[in-house]
Amino acid sequence: MSLREVFERLAIYLPDDTLEALLIHSKKQKGQKVQLRLLSEQKLAESTEWMAQIEVFKHIIPLWTDDHSNYVGLYVEGPLAYKLCYINHEETDLSPIYRSAASLIAELEQNPELDWEQLHKDYPSDEDISTEQLAEDIRCMHELQAILEKDSSMEDDVRCQLLYSLMAITPVSEVDSLLSYVDDEDMYVQERACILLGYHGYEPATEILKEVVKHGSPNGKLAACKALSMIRAKQMDKHIKK
């Protein structure tokens, strides 16, 4: 069974350019020693059918694996359609990491010897994204916000994953929106908001982060301390460059 036939059998639609990029990449990987390899057609079908039974995975198909029970998955439905996430067997975080399959493929083919942690990622994004990419990220933000606002009774793990994704794709120009999650009742959401504020070096968050250090959840306190250190480091870099 070919890759194309697997998608047809599972009633999964992929844009022509995405499918073509995967077919070409599959041929290039044959016989090569790589850190991330495309799943075989049989394993892809089996894993997709299994994941479809779990709520947080139902819009994702696994495409690559490191052979250590970790996968790179492709969103095939919803606001994040055709973006990629990393499926870690130890800790679930389904926020998008790459904008498209083509983006990851380009990185893998340029650096086949690198493992996942060493690869350059698309998200969280920096300031140098294109106008089109910025518009796409903001569109995704709004659609995810609408889903969260519409269903106030969703399961905690589903809500957490949606918020992880929402925060991950938040562009630098919209980073102030992360402040609303710093006091979230979910300590994992609070933790992620703090870390991303630190990643972006968002100085206006300094006082709020200090309050989290004092009164936040255990996860939030540690993340806020780390975020403050990241902000200070970015401030020093700016000073040195001047």
Residue 10 confidence (pLDDT): 85
Which domain CATH number covers 102?
A: 3.40.1580
Burial 94-123 (b: 16+ CB within 10 A, else e): bbbbbbbbbbbbebbeeeeeeebeebebbb
From 92, 118, 144, give the residue that closes a domain. Answer: 118
State whether 237 and 136 are in the same domain.
Answer: yes
Domain count, the chain: 2
State whether 39 and 114 are in the same domain.
Answer: yes
For the segment 14-44, what is each residue's pLDDT rounded down to a tens digit?
999 999 999 999 999 888 888 899 998 889 9
Q: Quick one: average pLDDT of 189-200?
A: 97
CA distance 92 to 168: 14
State whether 14 and 95 are in the same domain.
Answer: yes
- Domain with 202, as residue range(s), is 131-241
Residue 32 confidence (pLDDT): 84
For the segment 40-57, what is each residue's pLDDT rounded down to a tens digit?
888 999 889 888 889 999
Q: Quick one: average pLDDT of 132-155?
A: 93
The answer to whether the CB of 191 falls within 8 A of the CB of 222 is yes
Phi then psi for residue 7, to 5 deg, are -65, -40
Decide if 125 is inside a domain. Answer: no
Query: Is the model's pLDDT at 237 over the cut of 80?
Result: no
From 97, 118, 139, give the residue that closes a domain. Answer: 118
Decide if 124 is inside a domain. Answer: no
Average pLDDT, the chain: 93
For the segment 211-222, what is each residue's pLDDT rounded down to a tens digit?
999 999 999 999
What is the signed CA dihedral for 159, 122, 173, 205, rounded to 10 degrees? Answer: 60
Residue 234 confidence (pLDDT): 86
Confidence of residue 236 (pLDDT cuts 50, 70, 90): confident
Q: Quick one: average pLDDT of 71-97?
A: 96
Query: Is the model's pLDDT at 239 over the cut of 70?
Result: no
Confidence of residue 242 (pLDDT cuts 50, 70, 90): low
The answer to whether the CB of 190 falls within 8 A of the CB of 182 is yes
Decide if 13 is inside a domain. Answer: yes
The answer to whether the CB of 190 falls within 8 A of the CB of 184 is yes
Q: What pTM does this model have?
A: 0.93
Decide if 123 is inside a domain. Answer: no
For the segment 161-180, what is each residue's pLDDT rounded down to a tens digit?
999 999 999 999 999 999 99
State whether 143 and 89 are in the same domain.
Answer: no
